[in-house]
Amino acid sequence: MAAAPHASWWSDAVFYQVYLRSFADSDTDGIGDLEGLRRRLGYLEQLGVDALWLTPFYRSPMADHGYDVADPRDVDPMFGTLRDFDELLADAHRRGIRVTVDVVPNHTSNQHAWFKSAMAAAPGSRERARYLFRDGRGPDGAEPPNNWVSVFGGPAWTRVPDGQWYLHLFTPQQPDLNWDDAEVRYDLERTLRFWLDRGVDGFRFDVAHGMAKAPGLPDMDPRAAQEYRTSEQGKAYDPRFDDDGVHDVHRMIRKVLDEYPGTMSVGEIWVSDEERLARYLRPDELHLAFNFRLMLTHFDADALRTAIERSLAVPRAAGTDATWTLSNHDVSRTVSRYGGGAAGLRRARAMALVELALPGAVYLYNGEELGLPDADLPASALTDPRARTLGPEYGRDPERVPMPWDGDLPPFGFSRNPRTWLPTPPEWAGLTAERQLADPESTLALYRQAIELRRTHPALHAGDELEWYGAPAGCFAFRRGRGGLICALNTSASSIALPPGEVLLSSSPLVQGRLPPDAAAWLV
Ligand code: NOJ
């Protein structure tokens, strides 16, 4: 049976994604860590978030900044110790903040003990069976086993000295696991229990539409290579992702979570077909699934309305809750995506109000609440493997720059070490948390007020159905439930009259009672 809406703490929670490398550095190596985060929990408590999502902090050679895991049941010394983790968890719980952690089941690091032994073993061995080793094509096996490409560019296969090839949908340092292997499944169960027994409140599953691959590993439609992370994704045949076999893995995961009441899961699922996406939310699979449609939509009221309506169809079909996000560590920040500069910031603020007015869970990305743009980084500073393989414009460093906390000079309290893993732009002096806490008009103040209202105002709990109003071209307005909150958005070039009601909050000051361009308002 489908869960009743809002039955659980995560149903309408505000989650805050902590990109740990960039949050706060306590040990002066220029890289954020668990203790740095613990010391900043007061800020998150004031912001009003319900739960955290921590990006991977497990043992890793960091070829993909921690998404290449060498030991999923230990903390990398770069981020601290298991004791630091336990203290962070206890402190967060004392403050009423839940903690969820990333899990990376699709692949391991090439420095994982399993992969090292697979490399040392012979073709056909037990050691190789945990990964996807295959013979090549062509008379001497010199061609990759199929035409799959890596999400990070180039072939998804790397050849090893004895002539076999192994599959990696991401970097060559991230070999894909064989999910038909019983030990691979059992090991994930061990990892989940390891963190659940320590007290975590849930997991974010990386590449949750990966893991299972189409039987026989048939060739992909090369056009699918262009589709990953676009709204077109899912049109061309792509046997790398969203294979039906993946649902077995999710059922296995859910069985474990069901033994720990009150814990939850959210999947990173780049599947744009609503019907396919809803399958991951069946009652014995994931609790939540990221829907990236809103994030992939440009700042246009009609397109945004369509994105919202299509996104809402997914949880409705599945009997679960919607999951909204506008940014994360893999995509350009909202301020920059919506055009950059003052207009980009106005639009990002407007979209924050739209997102926080919607029914369901909301995921914020650290720095979004400060209105940070992508940083303009010199080529020499880039560290992301995607920038190396696909070209600098595909790199994700600009949206991963350390948080500016306080002071007037980089790295703005992020670290006592001036050499941080990515440089912080000097022009962020006006964007620090310290400055914004003192400014009632700041983006941080807007987020704090919106989150507070979302938590406490009855109009935001009036119902989950959206009723759309007639609105001028380039604008929309919806009401949440009977007598509920009205959210109006203006993406047009002219100011508009607002629907009748009392204005609770607006993303830009009203002009003679009218909503200016690039703005949103909440009314009751
Ligand atoms: C998605 C993660 O968010 C991204 O940062 C990572 O590179 C890939 N999965 C591979 O693990």
Separation of first and last alpha carbons in the chain: 35
Residue 180 neighbours by CB distance under 10 Å? 14
The predicted-structure confidence for 300-311, as pLDDT tens digits, reads as follows 999 999 999 999
Expressed in angstroms and rounded, the spacing between residue 102 Cα and the centre of ligand 1 is 10
Q: What is the mean pLDDT of residues 209-216?
A: 96
To the nearest whole number, what is the mean pLDDT of the chain?
A: 95
What is the structure's pLDDT at 272? Answer: 81
- Site to probe by mutation for ligand 1, drawn from 112, 151, 207, 241 as the one with most ligand atoms within 8 Å of Cβ, is 207
Residue 51 — φ and ψ, nearest 5°? -155, 160
Label residue 518 by pLDDT band (50, 70, 90).
Answer: very high
Helix axes 341-357, 443-456, angle to 10 degrees: 10
pLDDT > 50? residue 5: no
* In the block, residue with structure tokens 């007015």: 357
Q: What is the mean pLDDT of residues 72-99?
A: 98
The CATH class for the domain spanning 9-106+186-444 reads: alpha beta
The predicted-structure confidence for 441-489, as pLDDT tens digits, reads as follows 999 999 999 999 999 999 999 999 999 999 999 999 999 988 899 999 9
Expressed in angstroms and rounded, the spacing between residue 107 Cα and the centre of ligand 1 is 10
- The CATH 2.60.40.1180 portion of the chain extends over 463-523
pLDDT > 50? residue 39: yes
The predicted-structure confidence for 191-204, as pLDDT tens digits, reads as follows 999 999 999 999 99
pLDDT > 50? residue 132: yes
Which fold would CATH assign to domain 463-523? Immunoglobulin-like (2.60.40)
Nearest atom in ligand 1 to 107's CA = 11
The predicted-structure confidence for 335-377, as pLDDT tens digits, reads as follows 999 999 999 999 999 999 999 999 999 999 999 999 999 999 9
DSSP conformational letter for 18: E
Pairing verdict, β 486-490 and 475-480: antiparallel
- Site to probe by mutation for ligand 1, drawn from 167, 330, 383, 396 as the one with most ligand atoms within 8 Å of Cβ, is 330
Expressed in angstroms and rounded, the spacing between residue 135 Cα and the centre of ligand 1 is 27
- Site to probe by mutation for ligand 1, drawn from 57, 60, 67, 108 as the one with most ligand atoms within 8 Å of Cβ, is 67
The order of strands in the sheet holding 157-159 is: 133-134, 165-167, 157-159
How many percent of the chain have pLDDT more than 70?
97
CA 518 – CA 350 distance, rounded (Å): 7
What is the structure's pLDDT at 7? Answer: 76
**Is 102 within 8 Å of 202 (Cβ atoms)?**
no
Helix axes 82-94, 182-198, angle to 10 degrees: 50
Q: What is the mean pLDDT of residues 243-247?
A: 97
Nearest atom in ligand 1 to 385's CA = 7
**Residue 65 corresponds to which tokens in the numbers above?**
């900044």
Catalytic positions, please? 206, 259
Residue nearest to atom 6 of ligand 1 (CA): 67
- Report the pocket of ligand 1 as residue ranges, CB < 6 Å: 64, 67, 104, 170, 206-207, 268, 329-330
Nearest atom in ligand 1 to 55's CA = 3
What is the structure's pLDDT at 258? Answer: 98
Number of residues that this document lists for the chain: 524
Residue nearest to atom 8 of ligand 1 (CA): 67
Residue nearest to atom 5 of ligand 1 (CA): 330
Expressed in angstroms and rounded, the spacing between residue 99 Cα and the centre of ligand 1 is 20
Helix axes 182-198, 246-258, angle to 10 degrees: 30
Instruction: Name beta bridge partners: 267.
Output: 205, 289
**Is 326 within 8 Å of 338 (Cβ atoms)?**
no
Angle ∠(415,420,426) on CA atoms, nearest 5: 85
CA 1 – CA 7 distance, rounded (Å): 13
- The CATH 3.20.20.80 portion of the chain extends over 9-106+186-444
Nearest atom in ligand 1 to 104's CA = 11
**Residue 458 corresponds to which tokens in the numbers above?**
């009855």
- Site to probe by mutation for ligand 1, drawn from 58, 64, 106 as the one with most ligand atoms within 8 Å of Cβ, is 64
Residue nearest to atom 10 of ligand 1 (CA): 67
- HEC readout, 359-408: CCEEEEECCHHHCCCCCCCCHHHCCCHHHHHHCHHHCCHHHCCCCCCCCC
- The CATH 3.90.400.10 portion of the chain extends over 107-176
Residue nearest to atom 2 of ligand 1 (CA): 206
What is the structure's pLDDT at 174? Answer: 98
**Is 223 within 8 Å of 237 (Cβ atoms)?**
no
What is the structure's pLDDT at 234? Answer: 62
DSSP string, 135-160: --BSTTS-B-SS--B-TTSSBSEEE-
Q: What is the mean pLDDT of residues 496-504?
A: 96
Expressed in angstroms and rounded, the spacing between residue 417 Cα and the centre of ligand 1 is 27
Q: What is the mean pLDDT of residues 510-518?
A: 97
CATH code for residues 107-176? 3.90.400.10
What is the structure's pLDDT at 69? Answer: 99
